[in-house]
Structure 1
Amino acid sequence: MGIELAADVEYVVFGAGVIGLACGRRLAERKKSFFVLEKENQFGTGISSRNSEVIHSGIYYGADSLKTKLCIEGRRLLYEYCETKNVPFKKTGKLIVAVEADEIPKLRSLYENGKRNGIGELYWWDESEIKRTEPSVRAVAAIYSSETGIVETKDLMSSYLADLSGEYGSLICNKYPVSLETAGKHWRISLNDGSEFTSEKVINSCGLGAYDFLGKIRDFPEESRPAAFRMAKGHYFSLTGSNIRVSHLIYPLPQVGGLGVHLTLDLAGGIRFGPDVEWVERENYDVPENLRSKFYDSVKRYLPQVHPDQLQPSYAGIRPKLHGPEEKFADFLIQTEKEHGMEGLVNLLGIESPGVTSSLAIANLVLNSLEGESL
């Protein structure tokens, strides 16, 4: 009987966004040999750098969903990590607001959902409390989430990268897979530059490209492909030339495909609004000027002092969705051998908000799965 040679590395992670980098740092902690491969010329240029940079509480989804479980655990881990590593962040708190009285039942339902999820740091505010704390905001009721915050995502990813780089692994850019196939107990991987190598295990953390990645895997079972993959583009506008001051994040009630055009802060106190939802077929990060009136109509409901001329196009991001415009929710899909039958492969599909918040918890789940540990 022939002797099977060792693989070139124990792990390869495809995709150097916040999730791929979090997986890499966890591999380094576990002293596993690995590569993190990124198709762009630098890390974190996709979903991870084109979002609201919010550390979420875990209020929006069902108690048994991965989004809730990983968000709540990830939030705890992320705050601890940022404190330890001096990654810039701030616990701003967040208000989810009912602008009109007929929105209060939906807001109350969301509040009760958060309590069922085990989030203790949620408080019901009436109109007087809102006016006292945020006099610029128009609302008749609100949920106050004291544990919501913001993080400098680029600095977070840079810190993850510093953690993973060293004796056990490294980031290599401008590399992407052409094909993957099993070879005994290993994976044989061909890259765009014609090179090949073998790895014991593969983590597909390709963000918007994670679904197309499945098509490069020889003999990947068709029934394990998600039934739907859609892209939801979200635009952002910045507030300029205004003396409006807000100290909390302000969110309207959520809508299909997103959490509504909300107000977020950067660490310098700057205000931006977004994202909206536009279902698209191709990547495109333009922010058309003609969206200003749409944004103004959304924002003025809870921030009536704002003027259309104060809204300036800022940036756009695209979220991978495992559902279409007519459906309200799809959970994270973290496919392991149990789901697709291929040993040593984990696919991370539909990883959108709250992905940044959940990044360290997702990395733990992925590594525990591939190492055969209990989840």
Structure 2
Amino acid sequence: MYSCYCLNILIEALPENCQGVSADSLSLSPKERDDSFFQQDLKRVKTLQKVHKTHPDLVLTKDVGKWVINCCANCVCETYAVHNEKGPDSVLIFANLRDTKSIERAKTEEADYSKVFKIVISRSPVRANSSVLYSYPQCNPEAAMNNIKDYWLEYMKKETIAVEQRIKQFADEEYEKFNNLKTAAMKEQGFLNSFIQEMSQQQKHEVQHKAILDAVKEADKMLCVDVCSPEYGTKINKSTRPSPKRQKSSPAAPSSYDAEAIFEMEGSEDNKSVSGTDVEESDREDTAEGAITMPVRHSVPKHSIAKSLPMDIPTFLTQNRNHVEDEYDDLPRQENVNIAESIKALAQSVHGDAVFGELPRPRVSNQL
């Protein structure tokens, strides 16, 4: 393959089909000899495969005798000439054109090579040998610029589609990576949440278990102290057991026996108050000493029982019930009583003229 300096004109021909030729062997006319194209080194191409013009508007042509000469206006290179009568079978090319290696090197190494327009574009507005162009007909600049613009738009359209495809492919790959990362992150989050919940439950159970063990140890310790330490047990009994004398600080309700068989006489209230005071003073002394007191039975004074009744009334000892220590004394034996005679004597004492003592008060039951 051969090309002009800027790669605008590409000639496809095998090197073995190209042979050097002189102007004398071509049988040129004087006019043809005077042309600049025939004054340079030339090669004859026996078999021309194809001629490609990247930008045809940058290629100038002129007829010289029987030949049509083509010149690239971009690099000012008279590239090839075609015989008007013989056509492709008689083609002359410039001997110093770029070969295949030089073309590839220009595409990769030339800084002025345009990837858009596929040619080497010189940044200088002045071309070498620009006087050669004056012998060629002037091209239409507007048509040339419009064609270059269309070429640019077509290229940009294709490149836009290609870029969108690359972006779509890249986006699909990135989204796939992102989805994989998201799935992995969700799984890892689930693992962490499960671990945190399990750890929290274990800590909660451990705290509860520890609290239960502490409570059991404390209960065992207290039980051991109650059983093994008599001093500590005595103190607890003192504080928890009700004192029998302290209970007597308030007058106790009479039992059922007292309510039915005992009648208070004059002066009995004073006796009770005196006895109650004695009991309260005894309680204070016992409490101050910190000793455990045993319940003591108090006998009912004989003068508190009505003696004006003409019948024998059995006397009962006041029983103080204590849940800690119950000591019962033997009750006195009762004498045989004639119930009929007692009732008659009771009736006479109530309706008789002489009154001994106060009449019996109505029964009041203090039992709840």
TM-score, reference length from structure 1: 0.16
Computing the radius of gyration from Cα coordinates, the structure with the larger value is 2
Higher helix share: 2
